[in-house]
């Protein structure tokens, strides 16, 4: 065999001698579960329910621990739990000296844990989690020989064994009931993952001679001394059952550890065990080579939760390839060790009905995470995103069960989500949002392919989603010639529930006074609003003023830097003359304010030494007056005046092309308007609708010349 297995549970008694036993009077070498002998005797059908036990001195502290007893009867049996409990056939027995309990286990209608082949197929490994006593009692599965379950002292257990009710005598004056090795597993401290008195350790093997599950079965079924674990068994080829803790690798330098298996199903069995006891660990150390590789398999639970702790440093190779983790309902953690020469891969795996996953720094790719179950640890998200980052995460699919979050963020920072998909998650700022930012700080999520997630912010947290998709428009005439200088205007459809369009404009916030270089709205600015080089159209009554902004944050648009100047004295009511004015940051559509007269106008065209505007709002002249661009031309009334922020409001270039880097948060229906008019050619206005998707948006618009006007 390639592997070495070591049972780290605490031995109560190996039943190789009769010393300390009450009930059995015969040492039996066959059958046996392990070692040299077991204890046995005959219990006749007329004896009724009979308890056999070993007395420990001092008494055992089994609080929070798992008790295992190898036990067997070849007599005819009743059911495992009869209406009259004393008629039940095969019980686990324990006592604190005052309260004597029989726990229903097996019978003619149920085996608990029994091998299907090998040297000790007759024995059953009876199991009780002492923390499960009250639940078992509530199910009516405990017989009180004396005292009560409620008074039972778990920290002072002095008798352990089995109780039998037989329906037939032993053959030929032999024995019909047997007990062999008894152990307990100190499983109360999940945090102490080294578990010096817990589970079985599996190590040994080498490259090309790796261990596998079949070798574990061979050791468990062996009747050699210290074997007969009663922890892992085979159902059918490649399908295994487990009722304990498996620990692969070594914490301290002992031996290299190589384990490799595929095409398997490992089921943690539905025993009298609470959710915090079953576990799989993979350990490493700085000296030995530790290699663990599972593929095309399933790790599942038939009932209790299962902790999977693969986070140990010093594990050279840890690979899970196309492995399904089903119904484990406990945390699953992977390494953060990035030492040279380490390979830690979680590839194309499925996690269904599991608690929080901590990928550490492993490659976490192509996985599907469904039905996150936070009922045990309330981890607040299916996958933990902490200081280890998400650099190695890719192509993930998250499926919500209708509550809970997909990703739980605990560290502020900027993260790239590379092709993540979210199904059935709630809207932002709900308990069903895809992302829960509970970092206490600012988080920026750059979306690279896939979906933009909804998000929820914890106290002191803020989240920005950046999912850049290209919105582009090509403008041509009917002869397919590019049209330069066509104004392309795009905004959301009026029926959209977002703010910032004609159907649902923003309302003015406080502080929007004349001369201010920003505009504040009363609502939070929509996350898909262009981050810079955009326009805001402020409306008051039947007038509208347009301003270009350089950035926005929260609910405030900050304009481009103010541009000021003075007409040379020859201006008119619609023209400003100033040498070099064309080199300043002024363009068609800007609102320009006459700071001398307090009036305003809109820029219509810009040339090298002059700017043409609409008539000033009060009818004044620009002659000799001062001007300002990129500051408010009016004072806007809070909660009354409104503003629209288009997604795009630009002219096409020489290639007839204009584009927008759009922050995609979900499919968005849009309205597109295009106009172009020159002294030589005028075009009919163009209008259409479209939708921005996670692939962006592209349109080729053909403008028709207006032959009547033109």
Q: What is the pLDDT of residues 550-560, one digit of tens each?
A: 999 999 999 99
| Residue 59 reports pLDDT greater than 50 | yes
Contact 417, 664 (CB under 8 A): no
Residue 64 CB neighbours (<10 A) = 17
Backbone φ/ψ region at 413: left (φ over 0), alpha (ψ -120 to 50), beta:
left
Whole-number pLDDT of residue 253: 76
In this prediction, residue 187 carries a pLDDT of: 61
Residue 234's closest CA among 206, 249, 212?
212
- Under the banding of pLDDT at 50, 70 and 90, the label for residue 190 is very low
Q: How far apart are CA 634 and CA 612, in angstroms?
A: 20
Neighbouring CB atoms inside 10 A of 489's CB total 16
Angle at 537 (CA atoms; ends 683, 494), nearest 5 degrees: 75
286 alpha-carbon distance from chain centroid: 30
* Lowest-pLDDT range of 146-155, 195-204, 332-341, 464-473: 195-204
pLDDT for res 138: 97
Average pLDDT over residues 20-39: 96
State residue 192's pLDDT score.
Answer: 39
The arithmetic mean of pLDDT across residues 607-632, rounded, is 97
| Measured distance CA(309)–CA(227) in Å, rounded | 25
What is the DSSP annotation of 230-288? SSEEEEETTEEEE-SEEEES-SSSS--EEEEEES-EEEE---S--TTTEEEEE---SSS
For residue 696, what pLDDT is reported? 94
Rounded to two decimals, the pTM is: 0.84
Other C-beta atoms lying within 10 Å of the C-beta of residue 608: 9
Please report the pLDDT score of residue 375 as a whole number: 61
Predicted confidence (pLDDT) at residue 49 exceeds the cutoff of 90 = yes
Query: If you average pLDDT over every residue of the chain, what do you get?
Result: 94
- Classify the C-alpha dihedral 74-78-81-86 as positive or negative: negative
Label residue 193 by pLDDT band (50, 70, 90).
Answer: very low
Of the candidate ranges 372-376, 622-626, 684-688, the one whose mean pLDDT is the lowest: 372-376
Question: To the nearest whole percent, how much of the chain has pLDDT over 70?
Answer: 97
Q: Is 220 helix (H, G, I), strand (E, B) or coil?
A: helix
Distance from chain centroid for Cα 359: 9
Alpha carbons 112 and 126: distance in angstroms, whole number: 7
For residue 341, the model assigns a pLDDT of: 75
Residue 609 has pLDDT above 90, yes or no: yes
Residue 188 binned pLDDT confidence (cut-offs 50, 70, 90):
very low
CA atoms of 585 and 194, how far apart (whole Å): 67
**CA distance linking residue 48 with residue 46, whole number of Å:** 5
- Return the pLDDT at 502: 94
Report which of 120, 139, 130 is spatially closest to residue 35, judged by C-alpha positions: 120
Instruction: Read off the tokens for 323.
Output: 């492995």
- Grade residue 251 by pLDDT with cuts at 50, 70 and 90: confident
């Amino acid at each position: 065999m390639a592997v070495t297995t070591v049972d780290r549970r605490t031995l109560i008694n190996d039943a190789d001698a009769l010393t300390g036993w009450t009930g059995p009077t015969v040492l039996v070498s066959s059958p046996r579960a392990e070692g040299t002998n077991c204890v046995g005797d005959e219990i006749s059908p007329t004896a009724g329910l009979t308890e056999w036990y070993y007395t420990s001195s001092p008494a055992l502290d089994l609080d929070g621990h798992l008790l295992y007893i190898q036990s067997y009867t070849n007599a005819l049996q009743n059911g495992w739990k009869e209406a009259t409990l004393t008629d039940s056939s095969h019980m686990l027995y324990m006592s604190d000296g005052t309260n004597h309990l029989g726990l229903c286990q097996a019978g003619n209608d149920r085996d608990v844990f029994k091998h299907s082949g090998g040297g000790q197929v007759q024995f059953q490994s009876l199991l009780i989690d002492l923390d499960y006593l009250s639940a078992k009692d509530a199910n009516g599965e405990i017989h009180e020989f004396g005292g009560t379950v409620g008074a039972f002292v778990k920290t002072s257990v002095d008798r352990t064994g089995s109780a039998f009710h037989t329906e037939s005598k032993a053959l030929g004056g032999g024995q019909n009931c047997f007990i062999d090795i008894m152990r307990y597993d100190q499983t109360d401290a999940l945090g102490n993952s080294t578990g010096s008195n817990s589970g079985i350790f599996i190590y040994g093997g080498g490259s090309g001679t790796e261990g596998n599950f079949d070798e574990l079965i061979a050791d468990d079924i062996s009747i050699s001394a210290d074997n007969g674990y009663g922890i892992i068994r085979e159902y059918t080829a490649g399908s295994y059952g487990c009722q304990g803790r498996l620990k692969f690798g070594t914490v301290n330098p002992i031996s290299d550890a190589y384990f490799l298996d595929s095409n398997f199903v490992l089921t943690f069995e539905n025993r009298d065990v609470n959710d915090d006891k079953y576990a799989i660990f993979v350990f490493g150390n700085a000296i030995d080579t530790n290699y663990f590789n599972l593929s095309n398999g399933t790790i599942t639970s038939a009932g209790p939760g299962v902790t999977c702790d693969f986070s140990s440093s010093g594990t050279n190779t840890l690979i899970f390839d196309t492995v399904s983790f089903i119904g484990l309902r406990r945390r699953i953690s992977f390494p953060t060790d990035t030492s040279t020469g380490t390979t830690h891969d979680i590839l194309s795996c499925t996690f269904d009905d599991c608690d929080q996953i901590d990928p550490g720094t492993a490659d976490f790719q192509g996985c599907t995470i469904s039905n996150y179950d936070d009922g045990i640890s309330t981890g607040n998200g299916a996958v933990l995103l902490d200081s280890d980052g998400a650099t190695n995460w890719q192509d993930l699919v998250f499926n919500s069960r209708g509550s809970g979050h997909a990703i739980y963020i605990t560290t502020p920072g900027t993260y790239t989500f590379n092709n993540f998909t979210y199904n059935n998650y709630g809207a932002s700022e709900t308990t069903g949002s895809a992302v829960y930012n509970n970092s206490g700080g600012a988080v920026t999520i750059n979306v690279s392919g896939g979906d933009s997630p909804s998000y929820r912010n914890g106290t002191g947290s803020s989240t920005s989603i950046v999912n850049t998709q290209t919105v582009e428009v090509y403008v041509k005439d009917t002869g397919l010639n590019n049209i330069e200088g066509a104004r392309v205007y795009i905004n959301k459809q009026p029926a959209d529930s977002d703010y910032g369009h004609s159907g649902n404009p923003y309302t003015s916030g406080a502080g929007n006074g004349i001369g201010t270089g920003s505009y504040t709205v009363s609502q939070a600015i929509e996350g898909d609003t262009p981050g810079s080089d955009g326009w805001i159209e402020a409306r008051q009554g039947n007038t509208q003023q347009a301003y270009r902004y350089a950035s926005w944050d929260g609910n405030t648009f900050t304009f481009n830097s103010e541009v000021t100047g003075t007409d040379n004295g020859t201006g008119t009511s619609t023209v400003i003359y100033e040498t070099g004015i064309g080199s300043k940051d002024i363009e068609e559509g800007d609102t320009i304010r006459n700071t001398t007269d307090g009036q305003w106008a809109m820029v219509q065209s810009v040339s090298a030494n002059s700017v043409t505007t609409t008539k000033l709002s009060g009818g004044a002249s620009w002659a000799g007056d001062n001007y300002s661009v990129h500051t408010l031309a009016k004072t806007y009334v809070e909660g009354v005046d409104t503003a629209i922020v288009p997604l795009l409001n630009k002219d096409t270039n020489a290639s007839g092309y204009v584009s927008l880097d759009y922050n995609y948060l979900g499919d968005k229906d849009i309205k597109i308007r295009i106009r172009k008019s020159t002294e030589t050619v005028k075009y009919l206005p163009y209008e259409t609708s479209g939708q921005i998707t996670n692939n962006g948006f592209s349109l080729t618009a053909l403008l028709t010349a207006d032959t009547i006007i033109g």
